[in-house]
Structure 1
């Protein structure tokens, strides 16, 4: 899609851009754009009604963003233009974000909101308020720029952390109930909750908060570990996004459509980067309903473990092909907030990097291992709190003889082969 300046998208361009956006491709946004527009109008109406009653409380993190916008004229210009251009994309909306103070009020309301369960097919089903709030803004040229601005990104990270704190608190527990909430019969069937540790005697299932439910733990026998020493197992539940072999140290086109993986950018300049030149990348995607803890794909010693704080709400600019959502995930492997857990396994596997990627909403990556830890295949390494997420596994050249699941050649994330944590995804060469 061409970059926009003073013009708006045609109706068909807008529909195409929305259909191929990462949020819709990932299932974070409604399939039908009319449902998104209805949600945005309803949410904005509620914000405006609360403001009329002086019922909006300015949150500390939102106040930090307000101060950044006030003192940084470039950010202020981009945010103002972003809002104006986004409104040009849906000019008939009666309730919307009108200006910067209005955007701040919307963010104040989101910080204390909790995702409510709605069954599949319910037109009100929308679990990702920030993705919904930002979707039109991210389609504009100033939107592409401001969501990549480091200062704006840091301020947004503060807002996401404050929202995460709310979702970690007992104020968020009320949506985890057995009547119409996340433990209701419909949710139980949809999410396969019989596989998870849930207290049958507690009305909230033993979950003190929404996030406690979101990164709920599996029962011990729910994901048996493939015990073959020559088999590498999946670190997570999800679907295959892309498998690439013979990856390069640096690909200057990682940001472009059809891009490849760029090790130097993905691994944030790690001293271990050269270990993976010519090796393989296995990327998968976790939907909102998937199990959100991740485990060791191999047995070995953790040599390094850290989180790279980076971008969250960003996707490739100007992509309108049907596989745009997949392309944005590959791009996100080089620029998004991510964990880097390096595990040294016995030959022939050698060094493996487990890279959980935070995408949209919380982008919260929590590590539960430290350098020096001995891990056995299947041991927990960490988890995601609420939000979108992806996972890359990186292998050294010659470590993998064959992958046991097919590459996703469709470009459609929903059509990638399903994978389960602890199940085999690759076989080693078997040569030490």
Structure 2
């Protein structure tokens, strides 16, 4: 199984090789892994244990090899490799402001591979990665799901080598977040291909609504993942924010942000929609324009 995506800046089709590829294939593509290992990996104690391990000072010895293996550009970071106090400190590192310029219009809230649907109802026509995905199941709220039943849907998947802080895609005022309980399932491409619905509708997640003056209510939902102990907010609810202001960050692991927008107010860029229809993700960076 090759994991392909479009590099938006170059237009090239590239192949992603997730860290721990062999283990992920065992978990999600192998009957033995699904039966015996996956239930263990989903347990909260394992995620919390690994989170503590990544917070330990001794975990800094993992950073240099991780950077080398995944070809991470450390010139963008505010700290050098030897300045981090733990692997997690490195993992949710902050970047220099010039590393992620904030472009015009509606922007990506983070770095990652993006799928986008102009109308969430379209998912019933060709599904996502071959699996049905409903807003009602994801939000666990029928009334709220009805509000967004014809919204545009964006799914931004962060890989472990990506910048793991996420930001507001537009000016507005965010509500208090609502937490939805769930497991810590991987959001790797192997997990998505195996059972897209389970990953998004049974994973630990939360959402807040960014209320804007001119573009309607934008729903922003971070999704946790295997080995991620928590989704960490850094914003103050009910206080105005500017486009590009930080919303929060993820600890170690792959993670995802699901976004629902009013399709009559914001139009997703056509190249992203076309790539999605061709069943391929588009790599974008935080601050990059993805709609108007």
Normalising by structure 2, what TM-score? 0.79
Query: Secondary structure at the residue paired with 1:425?
Result: strand
2:208 aligned partner: 341
**1:292 and 2:164 are equivalent in the alignment:** yes
Alignment CA distance shift 1:257-1:290 (3 Å): closer
Asked whether the 8 Å contact 2:25–2:190 carries over to 1, the reply is: no
In 2: Cα distance, 1:146 partner to 1:404 partner: 43
Displacement of 1:400 in angstroms is 2.0
Asked whether the 8 Å contact 2:224–2:256 carries over to 1, the reply is: yes
Displacement of 1:297 in angstroms is 0.5
Aligned match for 1:394, one of 260, 270, 274: 260
Displacement of 1:296 in angstroms is 0.2
Alignment CA distance shift 1:361-1:298 (3 Å): same
* Residue pairs, 1:236-275, within 5 angstroms: 236-240=110-114, 242-248=115-121, 258-269=130-141, 272-275=144-147
1:66 aligned partner: none
RMSD of aligned residue pairs (Cα, Å): 3.5
Asked whether the 8 Å contact 1:236–1:291 carries over to 2, the reply is: yes
1:425 aligned partner: 290
**1:411 and 2:284 are equivalent in the alignment:** no
**1:196 and 2:51 are equivalent in the alignment:** no
When you count strand as a share of all residues, which structure comes out higher?
Answer: 2
Asked whether the 8 Å contact 1:405–1:425 carries over to 2, the reply is: no
**1:205 and 2:82 are equivalent in the alignment:** yes
Q: Give deviations 1:384-413, integer Å, cap 9, x for gaps.
A: 11111222211124222342542334435x
* Residue pairs, 1:62-211, within 5 angstroms: 132=23, 135-136=25-26, 138-139=28-29, 144=34, 156-176=43-63, 181-182=65-66, 186=68, 190-199=71-80, 204-211=81-88
Displacement of 1:206 in angstroms is 2.0
Asked whether the 8 Å contact 2:221–2:258 carries over to 1, the reply is: yes
Q: Give deviations 1:152-205, integer Å, cap 9, x for gaps.
A: 677x112111210121121312334xxx5456xx46x92111011015xxxx53
Unpaired stretches in structure 2, ≥5 consecutive residues: 4-14
Asked whether the 8 Å contact 2:41–2:226 carries over to 1, the reply is: no
1:352 aligned partner: 218
Asked whether the 8 Å contact 2:182–2:202 carries over to 1, the reply is: yes
2:107 aligned partner: 233
Alignment CA distance shift 1:337-1:157 (3 Å): same
Number of aligned residues: 278
Q: Give deviations 1:52-80, integer Å, cap 9, x for gaps.
A: xxxxxxxxxxxxxxxxxxxxxxxxxxxxx
In 2: Cα distance, 1:218 partner to 1:308 partner: 30
1:27 aligned partner: 18
Normalising by structure 1, what TM-score? 0.56
Query: Secondary structure at the residue paired with 1:373?
Result: coil
Alignment CA distance shift 1:164-1:402 (3 Å): closer
2:9 aligned partner: none
